A and B are shown apart, each in its own frame.
Chain A
Amino acid sequence: MLRQKAFVKKTKSGKVLKVVKEHYLRDDIWCSAEACKECGHTETVLSATPSINKLFPLPHYIIPDTNIFMNQIDVMEKPQITNVIVLQTVLEEVKHLSLPIYKRVRDMISNKEKHFYVFSNEHHRETFIEKLKDESPNDRNDRAIRVATKWYANHIKDLKPQVSVVMMTDDAANRSKGTADGLQAVSVKWYIEALDNTELLDMISDSRELDDGQQLIYSEHLTPAHLSNGIKTGKFHQGKLGISSHNYLEGSVFTKIDGIEGTILIVGRENLNRAVDGDIIAVELLPKSEWRTTPTGVVVDEEEEKEEEESLKAEQKAASEHKEDVTMTDATKTATTTSALLDTPQPCGKVVGIIRRNWRQYCGFIDRKSVHTPAGSSAPINVLFYAMDSKIPKIKIRTRQAHSLLGQRIIVSIDSWPKTSKFPIGHFIRSLGEAGDKSTETEVLLLEHDVPFHEFSKQVLSFLPVEGENWVVQPEHFNGREDFRDLPVCSIDPPGCTDIDDALHVVALPNGNYQVGVHIADVTHFVKPGNVMDAEAASRGTTVYLVDKRIDMLPGLLGTNLCSLRSNVERLAFSCIWELNQDAEIVKVRFTKSVIASKASLTYEEAQNRIDDERMQDDITQGIRTLNTLAKKLKQKRLDMGALTLASPEVRFSLERDTQDPVDVEMKELKETNALVEEFMLLANISVARKIFEKFPDSAMLRCHPTPPASSFEKLEKAVARMGITIDHSTSKTLSESLDNAVLPEEPYFNKLLRIMTTRCMMQAVYFCSGAKIEQEFRHYGLATDIYTHFTSPIRRYSDVMVHRQLHAAIDSDISYGNELTDKESMNELCNVLNHRNRMAQQAARSSVELFTHLFFKNKVQEEEGYVIRILKNAFIVLVPKYGIEGIVYASAKAHKTTAAVDATATTAVATTTPAAGQPILVYNPETDSLQSTEPLAEGESPKIQIQLFQKVMVQISIDDDLKGGGEGGMRQKLKMDLLKPWVEGISVHGICNKDDPEAHAVTSSLHAADKSNSLKRETEAPATPKRADKRSKA
């Protein structure tokens, strides 16, 4: 073994430092070719008979260069590409350029079927090369690749069966140098073309071909050096671009302007200058004269009429997603709107450079209008791709299979966005299946929310107990555990729940107190820190619950069997045992690992029935009754402390057994027993939080719910003030009281509605590491407790797994644990990951509900009562409590083009003065935060039509599939809501009638018109109840 030394100079953070590193060159790095007898390898990666390509006479191994991986990673991942030698030089360069791609390369390398071998050429005596004088690092690396290829070519030339190596590079100069050295060199395109596979061909990213525009559309981005200089001097501002979900040509950056945090608005294609949502960009402020006052202008592009319609559609899409941006964004939005109200122009800017792209793969569909070739043609054409995410601009891709991809959901990734191209240029990756199909759409929503849903790998499963299903509690498990098998433990869960992670018991003590125990599945007994299963669970973060399926965090064997606290089997548990007195005050608390045998697994309903059924007098039932009374006391105490009772419109679908199609929707019902379980879980979480914080003051995993900023309540406060209700949100207690008092006798749903809307003003609860915040910030606002964590659901949340480990370390000083429990930094990182995963899981769950709502409303038109929950500039959002759905209703005529077209005859029959398309019929009035009709008003007269928050309206719900199969609306499958009551000319539609029969329509609609004008009066009068009128005159 020969050793040599190489000296490398390196600079670090401004300082010039000479770093001397040793570099040992080796003779024992093997070629890993199966047929090679010369090398001392024991296991080989490269097969003896690799595939043959028409271009080359011999079976061959491929040696790609860095750019092949950087640009064509999608192609490389295809199963057709096998037997690749990944050079260390290449791998290191890839890692340096892009970590995500590096990860994907590593995944391929670990996949045995791909036969990817890493050749550590930089440590090999014969393939290591010194950098020559005046040689750039890139040139050196290219030469290193050639040298390694040459070495391989020589090394394997005498093998039987014969094989060769092929260098794959898109760099023509490198290719020609390679050929000059007597190597076989090829570009990806040639190689793939010789494979005769259209799908693969589509996946080659080749930006030159798509870049047809010669004229410059965008201005040049500045160089990185220029940018960092500008940012330092304060000329540019750096931040992450967030595109408005209403309009993809409008974005904003949250950054510091002259030391004050603020948002810079970026409006229009030119100003956005090729930035895509999520990119880290550098922005230059525009002169003050170009600042805008309103953040929600609709952009009109003269080059493309579709544009406007599109942005409206985009808005439509956005509307249904509104419920997603519940907290933070809402807060900022309200803030921006209020500033708009004050008429101060918002700072506007333009993108001067991109610091880091944040492109990912996008799910979406091909625009039918952009496919111009006759059906069946397989000539390559350029088509436009719409991403499901409305924040993403259209992407131009080149495909040979446009026709077969129409109507399908596909995945596309962006390759580049040259300044001559209006749209970013990308390439096709794969097709997910028919649009509208349940499984396809589910996959789309999982992908869009970044939910890892692949099967657990063999490696992960190898960490399961070897006994599998037959695992039972063994005598040695009792070491360090208490035996609670005789206690009357039972579990209460929703029906159909298979991952039972909590169980309860209560025993009356001789002194009149109660011993109450919460037993949580002991997941950490099976999931040891640092192993592959643990790492997988940590990266999944949480189990994701969709309407029709569950994406598990832990393999099913653990989640639904070995950890699940099922009845009548012995299971390992982590128990929290309190002594509570008659007033449900904690006298003592202790934690212990234990073995339990649950006596019954009940559903909420069964438990409730047991409580109510007086004939039942067994231990379990008695216990549940005791727990129930204790829970009520606990709840009362909590409410007295100022805990909030909030609400969200959650629905449950009844699914058809075989097809899993939704047949009915119902609101989720809450029973007393739900509260019972909840109370004890809260109690356990709080007790555990205190314990682990005591043991790990710097690194305990806790959960907090920040106090919402006053600004997020502004709008709501104003709206309810009109009804004579005040909301005091200074503390959670006052807020809870004012919510309790906010009851309108004539509107029973009002209180619930108010709670729903208050929920949306809240911040999101987050995990954090106790060392990262000051103790005052630990507070959980919603639960009104000073410290909180998650301990009770380790099967479905990774945070709880960490808390279990910390608690175990806190109660048992003998156990050994690594720094994963004590390292503040890594704990912080983990918290961020978990918060992200949780948010995504929530959104995915909501999207899933949305998807099923769509399926439910497919081919249905329903008329329902709804409430206005939000007013936008040119639209308002209606919540229909019965289905828990929200929809947007437009205040301008343009949005109803399709309806208007169908109703053409009807409209002319009824109203001769339909406003011109695009013109708003209802105008936003910032003073009252309402939309009102535009007729001229006399002093003091209120407008004829007014749409306000909380107003009750009738809407017609249907699925917007007029353009099914190609148009955007159909592909995005949006729920459409049309206003029925109050009747507003040009906006409202008529009740259910046969739209295909214009005559019948004309008759009914004229009838309706007469009818509606009456109801209109009623409606406009209705809000002016005496009480409110008083308030207004006072104001």
Chain B
Amino acid sequence: MSRVELLSPEGLRIDGRRPAELRKITSTTAVLSQADGSAYLEHGNTKVLAAVYGPREARHRALVLHDRAIINVEFNVAPFSTGERRRRTKNDKRLLEMASFVKQTFEPVVVTTLYARSQIDIYLQIIQHDGGTLQACINAATMALIDAGIAMTDYVCACTAGWVEREAAIDLNHIEESSDTSEVTVAMLPKSGKITLMQMESRLHVDKLEEVLSLAGEGCKQMHVVMDKTIRDRAEDLAAKMAV
């Protein structure tokens, strides 16, 4: 049992949220001019920068697929992203695993057949870490891909949910994550409700799974609203500029 009271009997979490509330989300796209598409996203204190290059010619001929594009994801955590400075090697298994999760998430959504024999690179950089990195990465990547103008069947919205003490709660922060909470990350296509990724590393009682999943689904829908607004604002902005 953790000693920290994650959810007060009054129903408030340590940072003052209620179980079904997301953190404050801010997002912008096209933050980097070099990249074909980019996005910056904050989930509370978790901050991610995503850059998309491509579709472009594949680096290694051997990897080229003749009928579709390959997606390459690189994931990195800045040494200064946590309170304690920690440098990670490039081949850190956890980083590679995270990258492969993101890759798996997007492979069915990006219409890769449009970009045969090419490669799409997604670079993800965690700038500040406060829990929920995977969801933040997926959301940032979605926006960067849209910014890059790559064809996708739908948005991919991700959200974590976990079982905090006696209730399901979404968008766990670092303290909640690190006190032995079971946590599920769900990435969803909000229009169809299809799930492209569901990832959980800890044990969760099967009776509670349903509740946690439905809450995560709710979270994904809320994410969609926020992301969609940013994209539309950006598009309107661009349209306004083009009209001039």
**A interface list, Cβ under 8 A from B:** 3, 15, 17-26, 88, 95, 106, 109-110, 118, 120, 122-123, 816-819, 822, 826, 829
Contacts and interface: CB of A to CB of B under 8 A. Distances in A.
Given A816-B205, A818-B205, A21 B17 contact: no
Interface in B13-52: 14-17, 21, 23-24, 44-45
B62 interface: no
Contacts of B23: 22
A24 B17 CA distance: 6
B15 A22 contact: yes
Contact of B1 (A109, A123, A816, A826): A826
A830 to B, nearest CB: 10
Given A24-B24, A95-B5, A109-B9, 19 more contacts: A17-B83, A19-B83, A21-B14, A21-B175, A22-B15, A22-B16, A22-B23, A22-B45, A23-B15, A23-B16, A26-B16, A118-B8, A118-B10, A120-B8, A120-B10, A120-B12, A123-B12, A123-B16, A819-B203
Given A120-B10, A123-B16, A818-B205, A22 B83 contact: no
Label chain B's interface by main secondary structure. Answer: loop
A568 B130 CA distance: 61
A832 to B, nearest CB: 13
Interface of B: 1, 5, 8-10, 12, 14-17, 21, 23-24, 44-45, 83-84, 130, 173, 175, 203, 205-207
Contacts of A15: 84
Contacts of B9: 106, 109-110, 118
B205 to A, nearest CB: 5
Contacts of A826: 1
B237 to A, nearest CB: 25
A20 B83 contact: yes
A123 B14 CA distance: 9
A829 to B, nearest CB: 8
A9 to B, nearest CB: 10
A894 B61 CA distance: 104
A25 B16 CA distance: 7
A33 B203 CA distance: 41
15 contacts: A17-B83, A19-B83, A20-B83, A21-B15, A21-B175, A22-B24, A22-B45, A22-B130, A24-B17, A118-B8, A120-B8, A123-B16, A816-B206, A819-B203, A829-B1
A816 B207 contact: yes
A516 to B, nearest CB: 36
Contacts of B21: 24
A17 B173 CA distance: 17
Contact of B203 (A25, A123, A818): A818
Contacts of B203: 818-819, 822
Closest 9 CB pairs of A and B: A24-B16, A123-B16, A816-B206, A22-B15, A818-B205, A17-B83, A22-B44, A118-B10, A819-B203
A903 to B, nearest CB: 62
A249 B112 CA distance: 84
Contacts of A23: 15-16
B42 to A, nearest CB: 11
A745 B25 CA distance: 89
Given A816-B205, A818-B205, A20 B130 contact: yes
Nearest to A106: B9
A18 B83 contact: yes
A816 B175 CA distance: 27
B206 A20 contact: no
A27 B82 CA distance: 31
Contact of A17 (B84, B175, B207): B84
Contacts of A816: 205-207
A393 B130 CA distance: 52
A826 B45 CA distance: 32
Nearest to A816: B206
A818 B21 CA distance: 26
Contacts of B12: 120, 123
Contact of B173 (A22, A95, A109): A22
A24 B15 contact: yes
Nearest to A822: B203
B241 to A, nearest CB: 31
Nearest to A19: B83
B193 to A, nearest CB: 26
Nearest to B128: A20
Contacts of B175: 21
A842 to B, nearest CB: 27
Given A109-B9, A118-B9, A3 B24 contact: yes
B45 A20 contact: yes
Nearest to A110: B9
A24 B14 CA distance: 9
Nearest to B83: A17
Contacts of A109: 9
A410 B130 CA distance: 53
Nearest to A528: B207
A3 B15 CA distance: 11
A970 to B, nearest CB: 46
B184 to A, nearest CB: 15
Contacts of A21: 14-15, 175
A816 B207 CA distance: 9
B176 to A, nearest CB: 11
Contacts of A106: 9
B41 to A, nearest CB: 16
A3 B22 CA distance: 12
Contacts of A819: 203
A88 B173 CA distance: 21
A18 B84 CA distance: 8
A24 B25 CA distance: 13
B20 to A, nearest CB: 13
A106 B9 CA distance: 9
A536 to B, nearest CB: 16
B18 to A, nearest CB: 9
Nearest to B205: A818
A95 B3 CA distance: 11
Nearest to B163: A818
A110 B10 CA distance: 11
Contacts of B207: 816
A120 B9 CA distance: 11
Contacts of A122: 16
A15 B130 CA distance: 19
A928 B138 CA distance: 82
A817 B21 CA distance: 29
A619 B17 CA distance: 67
Nearest to B82: A17
Nearest to A820: B205
Q: For B10, B21, B206, which residue has the most chain A Cβ atoms within 10 angstroms?
A: B10
Contacts of A88: 8, 10
A752 B204 CA distance: 54
A19 B16 CA distance: 16
A819 B206 CA distance: 12
Nearest to B206: A816
Q: For B5, B16, B24, which residue has the most chain A Cβ atoms within 10 angstroms?
A: B16
A430 B83 CA distance: 51
A800 B163 CA distance: 28
Q: For A21, A110, A118, A829, which residue has the most chain B Cβ atoms within 10 angstroms?
A: A21
Nearest to A119: B10
A817 B206 CA distance: 8
A21 B6 CA distance: 13
Contacts of A95: 5
A21 B21 CA distance: 16
A184 B1 CA distance: 41
A391 B83 CA distance: 49
Nearest to A1: B21
Contacts of A18: 83
Contacts of B44: 22
A24 B1 CA distance: 26
A111 to B, nearest CB: 13
A31 to B, nearest CB: 13
Contacts of B205: 816-818
Nearest to A20: B45
